[in-house]
Amino acid sequence: MTNWQQQLPLTDTQKNELDKSVLRYLNWNYKQTVRHEHAQDYESVRHAIVTLSGFLLQESVDRQEFISNNDTSNESMVDIDELLLPKKWNSIVRLQKKIIELEQNTETLVSQIKDLNTQVSELAQFKPTTSNGASAHNVLKWIPRNLPSCLINVESSVTSVKLHPNLPIVFVATDHGKLYAFDLFNYTIPLASLQSHTKAITSMDVLFTNFTNSSKKNYLVVVTASKDLQIHVFKWVSEECKFQQIRSLLGHEHIVSAVKIWQKNNDVHIASCSRDQTVKIWDFHNGWSLKTFQPHSQWVRSIDVLGDYIISGSHDTTLRLTHWPSGNGLSVGTGHEFPIEKVKFIHFIEDSPEIRFRTPSTDRYKNWGMQYCVSASRDRTIKIWEIPLPTLMAHRAPIPNPTDSNFRCVLTLKGHLSWVRDISIRGQYLFSCADDKSVRCWDLNTGQCLHVWEKLHTGFVNCLDLDVDFDSNVTPRQMMVTGGLDCKSNVFMR
């Protein structure tokens, strides 16, 4: 074997097949030219092909194929044989492009895996060990950095966002009535999307059930309220990444403004409020309306629930406390100048005496289970209120305190330049978002604004969410999510 034959990365058989394929293609090209152009001066080309075949091919049987003039005989076989080289060439080019694409995708996936491993390591490092341990307190002191970790885009303005209490999933509701679920580690495509309502979703809440009855399987429930006057209840099927509708709740006569779901023992209830001025309590298991009452004279815009008590905020600028099993109105808060957009109870948390408003000031408030609430208004302020103790009687529904039935404003937070849309409390911090395109973090101990995230969105910031710190079934994580009028949702993670 000569030196140049050693340099050729082909066996003798492979070289012979390649030579035949080249000669076949040249022969086919010669015959097509003669046939279509009727040229007579291509005989020299054919003679060159015959000469090449004698030089390149060792077997006389192979050479005979090019020596004989088979211009018109057995054309179908000639087409198959003589076009084998260009077909293979085309296949190789397409295969090469595919290989390049796969290599690029592999590099991208490897980079994403490295980023995810880094994020998982950081999250594991700062994961709370116990609900009351030192690590948990560090998590509750977390303030998000200036820029979000990721940005989620949807088809219309975001009206509500909720974090999955256990998994890195965020649920996003939109002004077009669509409900999405996004994986926070791979958010380019939603895990699931559903046209849940015919009009805008106004509110959303989630609950991971904790049934003590072994016959009932625990799962995540997603509840949505809409301008189409309906409330829809969904089960999030994690194994299949889809929303499974359980039932619809019908009964309100106008826009359903807000919805709240909670569990007490094995009973799960849903509360809703509406522009029809009513608040309704629903049984989750059968969909029955258990109670309806009218705490306000105008549109009820927001509610929150703590045990047997509901606090509501209204277009009439007041907030009211109601004992929902009886429907008794217990107390009222006045002081806002414009409609109230959001109300929330401030829950007690254990072993936090240094945090203002998170521990009861007296044993009577401790036994009652609440003392403070917070409201956000279109007057650009956030107010924290002390709730007066009602008259509590054994085996009877509570009634208003005849000497003290008015909320007492103990702190007013000023700084937003437009309507305050949503609020969330964790540890000693209160987070708020507003139509001034900003999110703010306030210190409950001092009332000072600690940090401002400006221009997170190009439009109004409609909603935000963080993990709660008062539920033993929820492990607080260093995550915050916001949603805005610009069809975007910003996610902050440690």
pLDDT for 42: 63
Token pair for 109: 């996936």
CA-closest candidate to residue 258, choices 291, 227, 213: 227
Q: Please give the Cα distance from 361 to 356 (Å, whole number).
A: 10
pLDDT for 109: 85
Pair 277, 298: CB distance under 8 Å: yes
Indicate if the alpha-carbon torsion angle 283, 284, 287, 289 is positive or negative. positive
Contacts of 410 (CB under 8 A, 6+ apart): 357, 372, 384, 385, 386
Q: Please give the Cα distance from 313 to 226 (Å, whole number).
A: 18
- Written as tens digits, the pLDDT of the chain (494 aa) is 566 566 677 777 877 778 788 888 777 777 777 666 655 556 677 778 778 777 777 777 667 766 665 444 444 444 446 777 777 878 888 888 889 989 988 888 887 787 777 766 655 554 444 444 445 567 888 999 999 999 999 999 999 999 999 999 999 999 999 999 999 999 999 999 999 999 999 999 999 998 887 677 899 999 999 999 999 999 999 999 999 999 999 999 999 999 999 999 889 999 999 999 999 999 999 999 999 999 999 999 999 999 999 999 999 999 999 999 999 999 999 999 999 999 999 999 887 778 899 999 999 999 999 999 999 999 999 999 999 999 998 889 999 999 999 999 999 999 999 999 999 999 999 999 999 999 999 999 999 999 999 988 999 999 999 999 888 778 889 999 999 999 999 999 98
Strand order in the sheet with 372-377: 340-346, 372-377, 381-386, 408-414
Q: How far is CA 215 from CA 230, 287, 473, in A?
A: 30, 20, 20
Token pair for 443: 């210190």
pLDDT for 321: 97
Q: Please give the Cα distance from 299 to 338 (Å, whole number).
A: 13
Looking at beta carbons, which pairs linking 359-365 to residues 24 or more positions away fall under 8 Å? 364/389, 365/389
Q: Please give the Cα distance from 239 to 220 (Å, whole number).
A: 12
Q: Please give the Cα distance from 51 to 206 (Å, whole number).
A: 82
Q: Please give the Cα distance from 398 to 83 (Å, whole number).
A: 93
Token pair for 99: 């290989």
Q: Report all structural domains of the chain as residue ranges with CATH numbers, in order of start.
A: 152-294 (2.130.10.10), 424-493 (2.40.10)
- What single DSSP character describes residue 442? E
Q: Would you call 441 helix, strand, or coil by DSSP?
A: strand
Token pair for 389: 């103790």
Q: Would you call 465 helix, strand, or coil by DSSP?
A: strand
| pTM score over 0.85 | no
CA angle (154 as vertex; 275, 123 as ends), nearest 5: 100
Q: How far is CA 409 from the centre of its chain?
A: 36
pLDDT for 80: 46
In three-state form (DSSP H/G/I as H, E/B as E, the rest C), the secondary structure along 293-357 is ECCCCCCEEEEEEECCEEEEEECCCCEEEEECCCCEEEEEECCCCCCEEEEEEECCCCCCCCCCC
Q: Which residue has the tokens 């507003």?
A: 434
